[in-house]
Each structure stands twice: as structure tokens, then as C-alpha cells.
């Protein structure tokens, strides 16, 4: 599937915001975010045995391993890259097939379109794949805040495996504190992430 096949961009807003920048990762937070936010698992089957609610997968390789284990995530965010290199064609095809939302999100940022896409995907009745042009890594943070209680957010830890975060109030509070320390329009970010309407 090509990007054109999957294209459902920020069209509900006429893409008027373009790549509207909301938050930028400051240099002093980069080291903190390298620490895993939950236990690391190398086997998808073992990870899935600990899952009790919907799974939000952030990253191509993570999504691929979950699919290979027979589990389609409720939400998958992929960018066709891993550790800044293009993923293998087998992985790319597996994780982008059925992608229904495409957005841009520059590296080390959280843009308005990707926040909207996350909210739309979480609200969807069917499993939803968001294809990100740019980088999807940081979306794990707002995903933990916005995911329902009991959900699991799974993302890749380079060279180690898959980090499994079971969403709790404590995890949400921790992610809120981190996101508040980003640079940019924090108020606008929270408005978009937590608004009840898609017409913001």
C-alpha cells in the first residue's frame, strides 16, 4: 500500500493547520525519555498474556511483532522507519496495510494533526492504523494520557525490546508532568488532546 492509497489526512479540518507545531522536545528531556516507562518484553506472546484491554502500538517493529503474534492493535502508529532507518519491505507492507489516517509529524515534535489523529483512532470502533510522515515516537506520551483505563501502550526500546505500559492514573500523571515540560503551546495541546469535539 502506498501513502496515496492510505490517504485520509487532516481533511476534516481542510488541513488548515498544516503541520501546526504544538510541542517540541527540549534537549534536557531527551535523556529522561530514554528510560523505559514500563517493563521490557522481547516476546510478543508473553507481552500479550499480560494485556487486559485495548493495545496502542507505537512503532513499526512493535506493531509487526504484535501482528505476527495474531493480535491487531486497537491503534497503531507507524512511520515506515526503525531507529531512523527504513524498515524491511515485509514489515512495511504488514504494518501499513489498512492504514486509514495519514498525518505529518516532524521529529522531536508533537503536531496538531498527529494529536487529532491519535484521538480519532482511539475513538474509532475498528482497529485503526495511523501512518505518520516524519516520526511517531513521542506519540506514546499523549497516548498514555488519552488511552482508556486498563489499556496497554506498547513502544520499542532500541536494542532491547518492547516496553509495555499498562495505563493507570499514576502513569497518566507522570506523562502529564513530562508533557508540561515540553516547549511550545502546551494549552493548545491539552485542548486538542482532551476536547470532546473534532471541530476544534
Domain boundaries, the chain: 22-127+136-194
Query: pLDDT per position in the chain (200 positions), as tens?
Result: 334 344 454 433 334 445 588 999 999 999 888 899 999 999 999 999 999 999 999 999 999 999 999 999 999 999 988 877 888 899 999 999 887 899 999 999 999 999 999 999 999 999 999 999 999 999 999 999 999 999 999 999 988 999 999 999 999 999 999 999 999 999 999 999 987 544 44
Cα–Cα nearest to 81, from 14, 134, 18: 134
C-alpha span between 95 and 102 (Å, rounded): 13
Q: Is 62 annotated as a binding residue?
A: yes
Q: Is 115 annotated as a binding residue?
A: no
Distance (Å) of CA 15 to CA 20, 114, 121, 132, 136: 10, 12, 17, 15, 19
Q: Is 60 annotated as a binding residue?
A: yes
Q: Is 154 annotated as a binding residue?
A: no
Q: Is 139 annotated as a binding residue?
A: no
Q: Is the pTM of this model over 0.75?
A: yes
Amino acid at each position: 500500500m502506498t501513502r496515496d492509497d492510505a490517504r485520509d489526512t487532516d481533511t476534516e479540518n481542510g488541513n488548515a493547520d498544516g503541520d501546526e507545531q504544538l510541542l517540541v522536545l527540549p534537549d534536557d528531556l531527551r535523556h529522561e525519555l530514554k528510560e523505559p516507562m514500563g517493563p521490557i518484553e522481547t516476546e510478543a506472546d508473553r507481552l500479550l498474556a499480560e494485556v487486559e484491554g485495548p493495545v496502542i502500538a507505537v512503532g513499526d517493529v512493535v506493531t509487526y511483532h504484535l501482528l505476527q503474534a495474531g493480535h491487531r492493535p486497537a491503534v497503531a502508529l507507524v512511520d515506515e522507519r526503525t531507529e531512523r532507518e527504513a524498515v524491511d519491505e515485509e514489515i512495511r507492507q504488514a504494518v501499513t496495510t489498512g492504514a486509514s489516517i495519514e498525518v505529518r509529524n516532524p521529529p522531536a515534535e508533537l503536531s496538531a494533526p498527529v494529536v487529532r489523529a491519535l484521538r480519532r483512532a482511539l475513538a474509532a470502533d475498528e482497529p485503526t492504523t495511523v501512518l505518520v510522515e516524519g516520526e511517531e515516537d513521542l506519540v506514546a506520551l499523549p497516548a498514555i494520557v488519552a488511552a482508556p483505563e486498563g489499556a496497554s501502550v506498547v513502544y520499542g526500546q532500541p536494542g532491547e525490546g518492547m516496553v509495555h505500559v499498562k495505563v493507570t492514573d499514576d502513569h497518566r500523571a507522570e506523562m502529564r508532568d513530562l508533557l508540561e515540560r515540553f516547549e511550545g503551546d502546551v494549552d493548545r495541546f491539552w485542548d486538542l488532546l482532551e476536547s470532546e469535539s473534532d471541530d476544534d
